[in-house]
Amino acid sequence: VGTLEKLSTTDPELLKKYSKVYFLNEHYVPISLSNIDEMFRSKRGVNFQFLSDASSHLEDLLNAAQDDGLSLQVLSAYRSFATQSILKSTYSFTYGIGTANKFSADQGYSEHQLGTALDFTTLALSGKLEGFDKTPEYEWLQNNAYQFGFILSYPTGNTYYKFEPWHWRYVGVKLATRLHDDNMNFYDMDQRVIDGYLVNIFD
């Protein structure tokens, strides 16, 4: 009964494969969003909201990184359907649609709309994304993010977008730990297996 109750109150979209697979329409909005602490916001960033049910996990991650002497900052978190549409149009105009498609999702296919994905940067990078994979913050995330329920969505060799070392998604500690231990990419796991972790996503 407890399991059924948890599933009935948990958004079933949270563990779906977006990024050219599943689609979120323009009416989808996370159940509740919380503001990210200002001390962890990049001054060059925007969109500093994160899914409320997962916000404590993000806070724990950011505080742990800070305790280890790192300057991990959030550049962008929740983005609505409309915001993603504007962003993609800007990228397409600037870089051309072909290039833009390699690093930016169309509206409705972005993990950011779930409220559980975010882009990280560091104080040393002054809010930039390029070069993040060369930072100690990225190395720290690779070794520790799973303990807080976060995974790297687009690692090297993925078939969706170019390598994005800054883009991380909350999927719950149990699923993130399995993916880490098995050295597996979220998008390579069968969706039916992923769905089995939904009930424990906020544990």
**pLDDT tens sequence across 185-203:** 999 999 999 999 999 999 9
> Which has the higher per-residue pLDDT, 59 or 161?
59
Q: Are 167 and 150 in contact (CB under 8 A)?
A: no
Q: What is the pLDDT of the chain when averaged over all its residues? A: 88
Dmax over CA atoms of the chain, in Å, equals: 52
Q: Are 111 and 169 in contact (CB under 8 A)?
A: yes
Q: Are 149 and 180 in contact (CB under 8 A)?
A: no
**Residue 120, class by beta-carbon neighbours within 10 Å (0-12 exposed, 13-18 middle, 19+ buried)?**
buried
Can you tell me the distance from the alpha carbon of 160 to that of 155, in angstroms, rounded to the nearest whole number? 10
pLDDT at 109: 73
Q: Are 153 and 167 in contact (CB under 8 A)?
A: yes
Can you tell me the distance from the alpha carbon of 19 to that of 22, in angstroms, rounded to the nearest whole number? 7
Tell me the whole-structure pTM to 2 decimals.
0.87
Q: Is the pLDDT of residue 1 over 50?
A: no
Question: Among candidates 77, 61, 74, 73, which has minimal Cα distance to 142?
Answer: 61
Q: Is the pLDDT of residue 105 over 70?
A: no
